[in-house]
Amino acid sequence: MQGRLKLGTRGSPLALAQSRKVAAAIETAQRWPDGYIEIVPIKTTGDMVQDRPLAEIGGKALWTKELDQALLNGDVDFCVHSMKDVESVRPREIHIAAVRPRGDVRDRLIGGDQISNLKQGAVIGTSSKRRQAQLLAMRPDFKIVPLRGNVETRLRKVEEGEIDATLLACAGLKRLGIDVGTSIPTEVILPAPAQAVIGIECRTDDNRTQSVLTTVNNQITYWCVMAERAFTRALGATCSSPVAAFAVLEDGDLRIRAQIFSEDGKDMVEQRGVFDCGDEQAPAAMAKEMLGKAPESIRRLFSPA
């Protein structure tokens, strides 16, 4: 490899923590000295605009477009993302070269010991349409209010009583070294597609960087994430689409459980599937089958191709 590699990332504490882990893993695999990979923080529109839900200002691309541009311009050699924040349709010039082993996929309740024990009419802060629908499906009495900002900001709003509770990803909290709240089983709250996965992208035509990144790829996680993303892509899901999906490898097969909701959580379609590793057509077919069974309250939230 000629010269130091440059890693592009958002500048949030979580994004930087994830990027340092990726850089360290690559340096170890390549027997490079600590700090050999240069971390380049890049401010994204999603970081700068914190007063509105993502769906109102452009969706998930707000986390990636500045990083994509830096990558395509050659300002950085690869970018690190939380994969659940990456659009399911990516530019063909950009390649998902690797993913790291999946972390804890569960959501964690901040502000109580379990959802059923929260007070009547509790104010729950979240800008996730998935979490909103899942919570309202269990507790229609909840009042859901938008909540943006980094992890520390969200925790502070619970501590100061601005909201009664929120849900945060267990994996993100662990990567920040924060141990608060109660983990919720996936049988109760199914995670977002690609939750708890750190992904690494580079230019499609950059074979040298790809060869380096593949040395830290976790193939099982890669298969699972690609199946979840194929499912989401077939739905035509956006930030406004309440969708949950989680794939695992069991006995050589990928087993996926998925849910799609209406915004108010009153309607839900759930399905399970078993696929071959690397098969993205079967999860896509499952998505279309679920939409075909869904009521209008759900179908209107998706835009399948």
Q: Which residues are catalytic?
A: 85
Contact yes or no for 101/218 (Cβ under 8 A): yes
| Six token digits for residue 230 | 């194929």
Looking only at the bridges linking them, the beta strands covering 165-169 and 107-110 are: antiparallel
Q: Is residue 179 classed exposed, middle or buried when 0-12, 13-18 and 19+ CB atoms within 10 A define those classes?
A: exposed
User: How many residues can be counted in the chain?
Assistant: 305
For the chain, how long is the longest CA-to-CA vector?
61
Neighbouring residues of 274: CB distance < 8 A, sequence distance ≥ 6: 253, 254, 255, 256
Q: What is the β-pairing status of strands 78-82 and 198-203?
A: antiparallel
Pairing of strands 38-41, 6-9: parallel
Pairing between β-strand 78-82 and β-strand 6-9 as defined by DSSP bridges: parallel
Query: Can you tell me which residue has the tokens 């541009």?
Result: 69
Strands (E), the chain: 6-9, 38-41, 78-82, 94-99, 107-110, 123-125, 143-145, 165-169, 182-184, 198-203, 243-250, 253-261, 268-275
Cβ count near 32 (within 10 Å): 16
- CA torsion sign, 189 to 190 to 195 to 197? positive
Q: Could you give the 3-state DSSP secondary structure of residue 202?
A: strand
